[in-house]
Structure 1
């Protein structure tokens, strides 16, 4: 395997960044996880726009390279990898160990890829089965502290949530994803996913007015639902709404749509809306990347 590091393709065992890099020292970096289907990137424009918005919020948007998409293509080609998870990171670069960034920025740009199964109508899911989700004590970081729409290397809240799941696991019960709440107790998202559920025929998902990341797959699902004229509602919900739902699922770039089998020990499962949206998503991928 080869990774793309600061404009060069290098073998994985030689790929490295400086120990002085601010992405390593402080999480001072923007990143995106994108999905390659058939050698091209799904929803590239949306991912690139969000990456640039994050970099602008961090104060180095003007140094993000213009050839990011070509670098991704080069990395996929170098690894003969058309079906892949791709992580693209742009840090502020190496600097002294002071919190205040220097005014001049020399960014570090890293692209890594990992092979995944084919997507689309004849593809395979990357997950083994429907998810078990569990409400955790770790709360979402308020927007007033860290903007939730900034996708940065600061993922400690997600890590702490996943560690809670690990501590709670036993031979009979093991959760795949955390359900995270804000300071008021409202459901926000999963540690690395957005949450949808169906209640009496209405598709519901937490509003981006709360501290959650507006996922790219989340936006695609809402578009698909609008095309089908499903009743859709965004708002504030408790985790009890997921437990009591008729069906529920998670979304992210890698999982696509993953049904929720159990929430806090209560059986939920998929249903006709989840299955239809999953098929429509696969059809969209098929048309865009395999036809």
Structure 2
């Protein structure tokens, strides 16, 4: 494998950054997780815009154009002969004097990391999902950082909030959280400081009740996911009623269907969720989830393969 580091393609084992890089020292960096289908990045313009908003929130003026960044992604995909891939693009201020207050960005660190993924699009074209089956989740004690403390729309290298949430599930830690079958849940559902549903550690959350698609509003501390936005657009096109609002764990427990979205999982049904009371609610896919998953696959097929 080869990765793109500071304008150069380098072998994976040589892909390093300085220990004095502010992204390493302070988490002072922006990133985007993207999906390539058929050699092209899905929803590039939306990802580029969200990256700009993150950099603006950090006052990180890196001086690089969208075309430059997109070109580095293309070079990395081509160097690894990948058409369908996971892509992570990171930008930090680079190496600066070891003090908390940052200085002007003179030499930003830009890294593109890629990994192979199955073909996207319609399943009847031979594609395989990136997940083994519907997800399971648990509502955890870790709370979403308030927007006033750290802007919810910013994707920064400071991902401790999500890490702590996942550690509660036993994913990589010493805790032994398991569901009724002895399996560690796939995702941690975090609440905001008012005990309302926020999102997954790395995903946005949707539920369906009485035929209405519901998802936590961006008025709360919610990351504006790119796949989240696409799903809302598809729901409107399909005539599916949509409500963005404020919901509690009980709303998820009583839902008819639920699913999670992110760039890698796309639309992943949520089979079961353990609530804060320790009770597990069985959920799963249904007609609305299935319609949206099919519409998402059809859009990928049309825009990236046909």
> Which whole-Å deviations, capped at 9, do the CAs of 1:1-36 have from their partners, x for residues lacking one?
000001000000111100000000001000000000
Question: What is the distance in 2 between the residues matched to 1:74 and 1:49?
Answer: 21
Instruction: Choose from 203, 206, 209 the match for 1:196.
Output: 206
What TM-score results when the alignment is normalised by the length of structure 2? 0.93
The reply to whether residue 221 of structure 1 matches residue 231 of structure 2 is: yes
Contact persistence 2:62–2:108 (CA under 8 A): no
SS at match of 1:196: strand
Question: What is the distance in 1 between the residues matched to 2:65 and 2:102?
Answer: 19
Partner of 2:186: 176
The reply to whether residue 138 of structure 1 matches residue 142 of structure 2 is: yes
> Which whole-Å deviations, capped at 9, do the CAs of 1:160-218 have from their partners, x for residues lacking one?
00000112424624211011001110000000000001000100000000001010000
Question: What is the distance in 1 between the residues matched to 2:42 and 2:105?
Answer: 33
Which runs of 5 or more residues in structure 2 are unaligned? 275-279
The reply to whether residue 212 of structure 1 matches residue 222 of structure 2 is: yes
SS at match of 1:56: helix
Partner of 1:86: 87
What TM-score results when the alignment is normalised by the length of structure 1? 0.98
Question: What is the distance in 2 between the residues matched to 1:61 and 1:53?
Answer: 11
Contact persistence 1:30–1:51 (CA under 8 A): yes
Deviation at 1:97? Answer: 1.7
Instruction: Choose from 270, 279, 283 the match for 1:260.
Output: 270
Contact persistence 2:60–2:105 (CA under 8 A): no
The reply to whether residue 50 of structure 1 matches residue 50 of structure 2 is: yes
Partner of 2:26: 26
Deviation at 1:56? Answer: 1.4
Partner of 1:126: 130
Deviation at 1:142? Answer: 0.5
Deviation at 1:61? Answer: 3.1
Q: Which moved more, 1:125-134 or 1:55-64?
A: 55-64
The reply to whether residue 244 of structure 1 matches residue 254 of structure 2 is: yes
- Aligned residues between the structures: 291
Deviation at 1:228? Answer: 1.1
Deviation at 1:65? Answer: 4.1
Deviation at 1:52? Answer: 1.3
Contact persistence 2:62–2:93 (CA under 8 A): no
Contact persistence 2:91–2:109 (CA under 8 A): yes
SS at match of 2:106: coil
> Which whole-Å deviations, capped at 9, do the CAs of 1:220-272 have from their partners, x for residues lacking one?
00000011121100000012211110000000000000000001121111100
Contact persistence 1:179–1:239 (CA under 8 A): no
The reply to whether residue 164 of structure 1 matches residue 168 of structure 2 is: yes
Partner of 1:280: 295
Question: What is the distance in 2 between the residues matched to 1:159 and 1:98?
Answer: 25
Contact persistence 2:146–2:152 (CA under 8 A): yes
